[in-house]
Amino acid sequence: MQQQDLQAVSPLGLFLHRRVVTMLFLGFSAGIPLLLIFSSLSLWLREAGAERAAVTYFSWAALGYSFKFVWAPLVDQLPLPGLTRKLGRRRAWMLLAQFAVIVAILAMATIDPAAEQSSLTLMAFAAVFLGFSSATQDIVIDAYRIESAEAELQAMMSATYIAGYRIGMLVAGAGSLFLADWFGTSGGAYYYPAWQWTYCAMALAMLVGVITTLVIDEPPQPESVGVLNSGHDYARFLLMFVVAIGGFVTVFFFSGDIADSIKASLGAMLANPFLAAFLVETLRLALALLIMWLLALVLVKSGIVGYSMVERTYLMPIRDFFSRYGWSLAWILLALIGVYRISDIVLGVISNVFYQDLGFSKTEIASVVKTFGLLMTIAGGFVGGLLALRYGVMRILFLGAVLSAATNLLFMLLASIGYDMFWLYVIISADNLSAGIASAAFVAFLSSLTNVSFTAMQFAIFSSLMTLIPKVLGGYSGSIVDAVGYPDFFLITAILGLPVLLLIAVAARRFEIRDGSS
């Protein structure tokens, strides 16, 4: 269906398009695992009596989301025996990842963290496996979305994917807490079977994704650019991946105690424990990545893994991006990807604390910010998808950036007003609608940048890059608020959005997105 045809279709007709509806269900499947690692699991562990420090270690389970580009080439290159022949390469990997997610959730359900000390270690391994499996599902769903429909439909598919993802997060977050409470557990009366049944119910919810994978069509196969033409090639490539990741995990795991002692000493020296922790953890991560790279290099130099194999799977996707757009434009696009969501993410890190400081209760925050805000985000996503189809992705990308920065100024107003439910509803409506519009346009923009020959690898790099800088800055949001106060902090987050507008304006002059409107 060409863009002119899509523009003639009613909004309801677009929402009911088969590809668009498909992304709603796949988004739901992708949204289930995340909060089962974070908020829901944290509450479970605290009810079970785990120390707060031990609970925070479980955040490492989400490292897979930040480094999924490392194994994204596996999704592009490696066929799955039996499954790929029957389902195709995308659906085969999707089904495998979904079953792995289900197994990981069920494994967590079988572990009582209050039983003995070793149970926390087992829970950590299960949570890491869930993070890895969920990130793999994200890789293949992103690739499927980009390859399964023309560029003109990507904005609407992105909108429904975001809607499904948010609904999945709501089910795994508020839904799991409701179930656990209904089954009879609470902070003062921990009851392990309640959490066990809750996580089993979340595993059952993943069948939505499994059924969707089995009934959808495989997207067209792009012309192959890989060099893995035999079982021997597959085995060597997999060996390189396992050895390199094993080195990364080993260094990161065994350096924990040393890192803690260095952070304590450096924090006292700098009189800033937050800066010390950031520096030490950055060096620790860099060391683990260096070891991973050295191990891969040793395998290549020894001839166990051919250089051409590494070049085609890891280097060619990067070279392809720079060759298609040229070095100057490519760096502009990467800079735009890295900072587009900076205003939203930096503010979002401390938003719940802000609401509490104003006197809003947890129930009010949950009902207005989480539930009502979710509905506004979904609505904004659909509006953003329709606007992008009508006016072009780059124009709505610019609009989303303007709205994201401008709505941050509304938080200055709320800070001066104080506790007021009416204004909380108004500001959450504006902020989440803006976020939905911006997110739909941004995901469509990222999709347009990928080459279908390297879909999984390139989109994994983009999606990792888009949160890296904002999350690093977001870690200092509390310190900034302590130094300047909430009103000036919100002003700073709005000002951070100004370079984004400049980057979009520069990129739009030199970059023509594949939607026929930009």
Q: Please give the angle made by the CA atoms of 346, 348 and 349, to the nearest 5 degrees.
A: 70
In this predicted structure, what is the pLDDT of residue 33? Answer: 92
For residues 373 and 471, the model is more confident at 373
Q: How would residue 187 be classed by pLDDT, with cut points 50, 70 and 90?
A: low
In this predicted structure, what is the pLDDT of residue 1? Answer: 46
CATH of the domain at 79: 1.20.1250.20
Is pTM beyond 0.85 here? no
Tell me: pLDDT of 248 over 60: yes
Count structural domains, the chain: 3
Collapsed DSSP state (helix, strand, coil) of residue 188: coil
Domain boundary among 183, 215, 247: 215
Least confident range from 4-13, 48-57, 84-93, 174-183: namely 4-13
Tell me: pLDDT of 49 over 90: no
Residue 81 zone, left/alpha/beta (φ > 0; ψ -120 to 50; rest)? beta
Q: Please give the angle made by the CA atoms of 471, 474 and 478, to the nearest 5 degrees.
A: 155
Q: Answer whether residue 485 is part of any domain.
A: yes
184 and 61 in one domain? yes
Amino acid at residue number 471:
K
Q: Enter the tokens of residue 325.
A: 């757009």
Q: How would residue 491 be classed by pLDDT, with cut points 50, 70 and 90?
A: very high
Contacts of 136 (CB under 8 A, 6+ apart): 64, 68, 71, 75, 93, 96, 97, 100
Angle between the N-to-C axes of helices 373-391 and 393-417, in degrees from 0 to 180, rounded to the nearest 10? 150
Residue 196: CB atoms within 10 Å: 20
Cβ proximity of 491 and 407 under 8 Å = no
Q: Enter the tokens of residue 465.
A: 């890059």
Domain boundary among 181, 215, 249: 215
Q: Answer whether residue 317 is part of any domain.
A: no
Angle between the N-to-C axes of helices 39-47 and 117-148, in degrees from 0 to 180, rounded to the nearest 10? 170
User: Tens digits of per-residue pLDDT, 441-476?
Assistant: 888 888 888 887 777 788 888 887 887 777 667 666
449 and 356 in one domain? yes
Q: What is the mean pLDDT of residues 193-200?
A: 94
Tell me: pLDDT of 397 over 80: yes
241 and 337 in one domain? no
Collapsed DSSP state (helix, strand, coil) of residue 186: strand
Q: Answer whether residue 505 is part of any domain.
A: yes
Instruction: Kindly state the percentage of the chain with pLDDT values over 70.
Output: 86
Tell me: pLDDT of 344 over 60: yes
Q: Answer whether residue 241 is part of any domain.
A: yes
**What single string gives the DSSP state of each residue in 22-52?**
HHHHHHHHHHHHHHHHTHHHHHHHHHTT--H
Q: How would residue 14 be classed by pLDDT, with cut points 50, 70 and 90?
A: low
257 and 210 in one domain? no
Long-range contacts of 313-318 (CB under 8 A, 24+ apart): 313/73, 313/76, 313/77, 313/226, 313/228, 313/237, 313/457, 314/73, 314/457, 316/225, 316/454, 317/73, 317/451, 317/454, 317/457, 317/458, 317/461, 318/461
Q: Quick one: which of 479, 166, 170, 483 has its CA closest to 350?
A: 479
In this predicted structure, what is the pLDDT of residue 476? Answer: 66
In this predicted structure, what is the pLDDT of residue 96? Answer: 96
Q: Which residues pair with 186 in a beta bridge?
A: 189
In this predicted structure, what is the pLDDT of residue 365? Answer: 72
52 and 122 in one domain? yes
Q: What is the mean pLDDT of residues 98-106?
A: 97
Q: H/E element holding 269?
A: helix 256-270
b/e code 149-167 from CB counts within 10 Å (16+ = b): bebbbbbbbbbbbbbbbbb
473 and 418 in one domain? yes
Cα–Cα distance, 516 to 188 (Å, whole number) = 59
Burial of 9 (0-12, 13-18, 19+ CB in 10 A): middle
Quote the domain boundaries for residue 166: 18-215
In this predicted structure, what is the pLDDT of residue 242? Answer: 80
Contacts of 365 (CB under 8 A, 6+ apart): 352, 355, 356
User: Tens digits of per-residue pLDDT, 275-305?
Assistant: 677 678 778 878 888 888 898 888 888 877 7
209 and 358 in one domain? no
Cβ proximity of 176 and 36 under 8 Å = yes
Q: How would residue 258 be classed by pLDDT, with cut points 50, 70 and 90?
A: confident
Q: What is the mean pLDDT of residues 409-431?
A: 91
Q: Answer whether residue 8 is part of any domain.
A: no
Q: Answer whether residue 238 is part of any domain.
A: yes
Q: Answer whether residue 518 is part of any domain.
A: no
146 and 55 in one domain? yes
In this predicted structure, what is the pLDDT of residue 81? Answer: 82
Domain boundary among 270, 305, 340: 305
469 and 414 in one domain? yes
Cα–Cα distance, 129 to 124 (Å, whole number) = 9
**What single string gives the DSSP state of each residue in 60-71?**
GGGHHHHSGGGT
285 and 236 in one domain? yes
In this predicted structure, what is the pLDDT of residue 214? Answer: 95
Cβ proximity of 26 and 97 under 8 Å = no
390 and 338 in one domain? yes
Q: How would residue 59 be classed by pLDDT, with cut points 50, 70 and 90?
A: low
In this predicted structure, what is the pLDDT of residue 11? Answer: 53
Q: Enter the tokens of residue 424.
A: 């909380």
Tell me: pLDDT of 269 over 90: no
In this predicted structure, what is the pLDDT of residue 234? Answer: 66
Collapsed DSSP state (helix, strand, coil) of residue 189: strand
289 and 210 in one domain? no
Collapsed DSSP state (helix, strand, coil) of residue 113: coil
Q: How would residue 515 be classed by pLDDT, with cut points 50, 70 and 90?
A: very low
Note the helical H segments in 185-230.
Answer: 192-205, 207-215
Tell me: pLDDT of 516 over 60: no
Q: How would residue 152 be classed by pLDDT, with cut points 50, 70 and 90?
A: low
Q: How would residue 367 be classed by pLDDT, with cut points 50, 70 and 90?
A: confident
For residues 180 and 100, the model is more confident at 100
Q: How far is CA 334 from CA 14, 22, 266, 281, 473, in A?
A: 31, 29, 33, 24, 18
In this predicted structure, what is the pLDDT of residue 230? Answer: 53
Half-sphere exposure of 140 (CA within 13 A, CB side): 28
- Biggest CA–CA distance in the chain, Å, is 67
Q: Answer whether residue 515 is part of any domain.
A: no
Q: Quick one: which of 434, 446, 449, 459 has its CA closest to 381?
A: 434
User: Tens digits of per-residue pLDDT, 206-230?
Assistant: 999 999 999 999 887 765 544 455 5
Q: Enter the tokens of residue 68.
A: 């999924």
Instruction: Kindly state the percentage of the chain with pLDDT values over 90.
Output: 23
Q: What average pLDDT does the structure give for the chain?
A: 81
